């Protein structure tokens, strides 16, 4: 009688990796394996050093495979996963080390996508915002407006729900994971990386406040 050795497969949350993270993964795999394959969406690389010749700042698809233990890691624009062909102690140890590192690199706020029925909740938020806003506008036209706080609340629900839906769609369907081909320490500060987005956010916030104030003035 011989015990059946099963494989193991686990899906991963949205991930953001830097070059030094990839080096660490390869180092972990190299503790047991002598053959490691690295592939992007366009090239097969012999080692991590060859990333420098790609002339790209980021990737959305990366595959790393090792033999003995046969471990496969895939990080893509729509999903990410890790697997081993044989779930036995040596392979399992390597599997857990790599998985723990990847979970530490989970994209910020991606836990939002794990909320049960998140799409239903966003739909309910947007729907409620649309209904309250339309009722507020209609009653404003006929001269019997809703309470200002309720109307403004409906508009805010619509705005926030739409923004979260757009972000959720973008992460889940286009940018599930990101691979930055620079070391983490070489990345510019958060504000420098996102100055355009911050500026747009400030403008949207100011416009929302002004719009809310005008609407509230009209309702009174």
What's the rounded mean pLDDT across residues 173-181? 75
Confidence check: pLDDT of 200 > 50: yes
Mean pLDDT of 88-110: 86
Q: Which of 59, 77, 108 is the last residue of a domain?
A: 108
**Predicted pLDDT of residue 218:** 47
| pLDDT given for residue 25 in this prediction | 95
Contact 123, 201 (CB under 8 A): no
Mean pLDDT in residue range 45-62: 88
What is the share, in percent, of the chain residues with pLDDT greater than 70? 57
Q: Based on the domain organization, do 92 and 126 belong to the same domain?
A: no
Rounded to an integer, the average pLDDT of 147-174 is 66
What's the whole-number average pLDDT of the chain? 76
Check residues 77 and 83 and name the one with the higher pLDDT: 83
Q: Structural domain of residue 163, as residue ranges? A: 111-176+187-219
Name the pLDDT band for 199 (thresholds 50, 70, 90): low
Note whether 100 and 125 are same-domain residues: no
Residue 14 token pair:
């949205």
Three-state secondary-structure class, residue 36: strand
pLDDT at 172: 59
Residue 159 lies in a domain: yes
Q: Provide the edge-to-edge strand list for the sheet that holds 71-75.
A: 8-11, 80-84, 71-75, 62-66, 36-40, 44-45
Q: Is the pTM of this model over 0.85?
A: no
**What residues contact residue 100 under an 8 Å CB cut-off, 6+ apart?**
none
């Amino acid at each position: 009688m011989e015990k059946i050795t099963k494989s193991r497969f686990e899906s991963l949350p949205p991930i953001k990796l830097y070059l030094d993270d990839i080096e660490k993964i390869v180092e972990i795999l190299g503790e047991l394996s002598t053959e490691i394959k690295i592939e992007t969406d366009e090239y097969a690389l012999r080692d991590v050093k060859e990333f420098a010749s790609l002339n790209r700042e980021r990737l959305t698809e990366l595959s790393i495979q090792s033999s003995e233990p046969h471990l496969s890691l895939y990080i893509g624009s729509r999903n990410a996963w890790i697997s081993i062909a044989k779930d036995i102690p040596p392979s399992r140890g390597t599997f857990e080390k790599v998985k723990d590192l990847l979970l530490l690199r989970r994209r910020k706020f991606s836990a939002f996508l794990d909320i049960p029925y998140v799409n239903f909740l966003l739909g309910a938020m947007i729907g409620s915002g649309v209904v309250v806003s339309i009722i507020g506008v209609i009653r404003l036209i006929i001269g019997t407006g809703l309470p200002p706080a309720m109307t403004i609340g409906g508009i805010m629900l619509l705005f926030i729900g739409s923004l979260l839906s757009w972000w959720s769609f973008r992460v889940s369907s286009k940018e599930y994971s990101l691979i930055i081909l620079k070391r983490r320490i070489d990345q510019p500060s958060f504000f420098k990386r996102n100055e355009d987005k911050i500026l747009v956010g400030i403008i949207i916030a100011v416009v929302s406040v002004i719009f809310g104030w005008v609407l509230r003035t009209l309702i009174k």
